[in-house]
Structures are given as structure tokens and as C-alpha cells.
Structure 1
Amino acid sequence: MRFLLLSLLILSLNVKAQTIPLISSHDLETRLNNGKDSTFVINFWATWCVPCVKELPGFERLQREFAGQKLKVILLSVDNRSKANSAVPAFIRKHKLTNEVFVGNEQKPQDFIYKIDRSWTGSLPATLIVNKSKNISQFYEKQFTYPELVKAYQLINK
């Protein structure tokens, strides 16, 4: 009986100790190139960014409502890498995020910013929409409402 209780306790701790994968700009590029989806919506956010938190449900909804299309929403946290095992997983659970989530992994955040879009000032939220099949992308440095997000997604897929 003790063994069973101890096993259940260990299993419950493992479930709660979720680790969010780190991703570099190079790894993100590889992820997009190797992905089966034709359109990627990559949202750059942080747990401390109020506008980011406000728009996240729209990205969850976009993935659900366009599930039949070749769309993949990726949420890329720019929180400090040290939070990949603590603040970010807790945030994901609290907000019930189901999209694929990564934490940025560059030595200098500025390097990541320049590789995503040279015009990016580094402010959040920011979103990159990539249509792989048409070889086009559009970068937005703004907070989206859900209707604006749908319009941006549909625009790149025309």
C-alpha cells in the first residue's frame, strides 16, 4: 500500500513538473521548414506582458476554428530561459493553453529579434505569420483582436 501511495505521489509530481522546450531562431526555422502545415502563426509573448495575455485566447481560438486547414499556431515565450521550468508551465496550466509552446533560447534576445524581422523593435506582443507554400510572411508588432487575427491569417492565404 505504501508503495502504491509513493508511486502515485511521484507520478503526480512528474505531471506538475512540466518543462517547456527551449527554441533558438535556427531551431524555429527548422521547425517551420520541417512542419507539415503550410501556414504558421508564431506569437511572441511573455507571462508579464498584459496585452500578450489578453490576446492569447484568440490564438487558441484560431487554431480550433481553422483546425481543418493546414495551420499551426506556435506560442513562443520570450520570458527568461530560467522560467521554462517554472513560470511558463504554471502560466500555461492557469490559462489552459493547448497550442505548441516554446521559450526562446538565444544568448542575446536582440539576436532573436533581428532574425525574425529586422524592423522589430522588440516590443510585445508580436506575431509572425508564414505561408510556407507561397513563400511569404508578414510580421506584426501589435496586439490582435480575434477578428484582426482572422483577417491577417486569411489575407496571407489568399
Structure 2
Amino acid sequence: MTMKLNVLIIGIILMTSGCQKNKKTVEVLQEMTTEVVKKEMNVSNIELEIYDYEGFSTYLDKTDDKVYVINFWATWCAPCVKELPYFEKLNENYKNQNVEVILVSLDFPHVYDKNLKPFIAKKALKSKVIALNDTNENEWISKIDKSWSGAIPATIIYNKNQRKFFERSFTYEELEKEVKQFK
């Protein structure tokens, strides 16, 4: 953290810990801290694509020569977060080999700015990140795969000739092995 952020945090602690709280000062310090955190993490620079299922579904049936790796995850899902580096590594290692990694966040819309964007910035995610905002999950989960219970992490790997669905976590080696079967 920068010195400016540390000073703001200390200021908030001091202002909120005293017996006589100055509410306006606390609010101003909290607002300043939020702005500094956003700047520190470049959150305001993150443009998040947000789709309902209909808009997102175009990513599920492409017929070009690429292999698509679509991972459903959320910032609150520990197994999802644990495996994200493997998808990032796959994206880096195969980006010039007609493989596209798409990370589909199932985080709730009210935490996009508070949790999702800072997470993307902090982890420096390079893969395409999409937020799926469709509350009718009972309908779209089965459209993605009839066997999907809705649990995450879940992954689809497909090309124009074949498709596989996984409702599980991956190691990098397991993920790479599956992708190689599509090449």
C-alpha cells in the first residue's frame, strides 16, 4: 500500500475509535479511501462485459477453428480462485495456438465494483472476464449442460466438432491434457 492509503486508513481508525465521532469527517475519509483504493488497483480502468444468458450464449456455440475454454467461477468460491492461475497459464501458453480462455464470473451484480473488479486487478487476470447476470439460473444452467447441478467451478471445453463439460476443479496438467484432446 502507498503511504497516502496508509495515512487515510489510520485517519479512519483514529476518527472512528474516539468517543466523540465526527460523522462528516469519517464519511469524507471513507470516500477518499475508496477512491485511493480504486486508483491503487486500477479498478476504474476495468471494463467488465456483463451479459444475461441470451447475450452470453453466443460464446457457447462458435464454429470457427478455435478451442474455447469457458470457466464458470466466482470470487467467493475458494476452489474456483485456487484454479484460476491454471486457466491464466493455459491462456498464456496457448493464446497463439487458437485457444481462447473465457472466465465467466457468477458474482452478484452488487459486488462487481466492490469485489470482482478489485479481484481482477489484484490478480492481473489476462483472460477475457465476463460477468453473467441472469437471475433465471434454473433455466440457463441446463442449457449450458443438462448434467450441470449449478455448482462451481464448472468448465466447458469445445470446438466446432466436439464439446466436453466438467463440474470439477482442475490442476494445470489436467486442464492442458483436456485441451490437447481438442487440437
Indicate which of 67, 70, 88 corresponds to 2:98: 70
Indicate which of 156, 167, 172 corresponds to 1:141: 167
Q: How many residues align?
A: 144
Structure 2 residue 122 is the aligned partner of structure 1 residue 94: yes
Moved over 6 A (4+): none
Report the TM-score when normalising by structure 1: 0.81
1:32 Cα shift?
5.0
Alignment correspondent of 1:129: 157
1:88 Cα shift?
0.7
Assess if the C-alpha contact under 8 Å between 1:74 and 1:100 holds in 2: yes
1:27 Cα shift?
2.0
Instruction: Kindly report which structure 2 residues correspond to 1:13-92, keeping only aligned pairs within 5 A, or say none.
Output: 15-17=42-44, 18-33=46-61, 38-92=66-120
Change (3 A) 1:21 1:85: farther
1:80 Cα shift?
0.9
Assess if the C-alpha contact under 8 Å between 2:83 and 2:171 holds in 1: yes
SS at match of 2:181: helix
Distance in 2, Cα, partners of 1:91 & 1:104: 16
Q: Which runs of 5+ in 2 are unaligned?
A: 1-34
Percent identity (aligned): 38
Change (3 A) 1:106 1:37: farther
Q: CA RMSD in A?
A: 2.2
Structure 2 residue 183 is the aligned partner of structure 1 residue 153: no
Indicate which of 142, 152, 164 corresponds to 1:114: 142
SS at match of 1:86: helix
Alignment correspondent of 1:104: 132
Q: Which runs of 5+ in 1 are unaligned?
A: 1-8
Distance in 1, Cα, partners of 2:181 & 2:56: 23
1:19 Cα shift?
4.2
Change (3 A) 1:54 1:147: same
Distance in 2, Cα, partners of 1:37 & 1:156: 10
Report the TM-score when normalising by structure 2: 0.71
Distance in 1, Cα, partners of 2:111 & 2:138: 18
Structure 1 range deviating more: 112-121 or 142-151: 112-121
SS at match of 1:53: helix
Change (3 A) 1:20 1:106: same
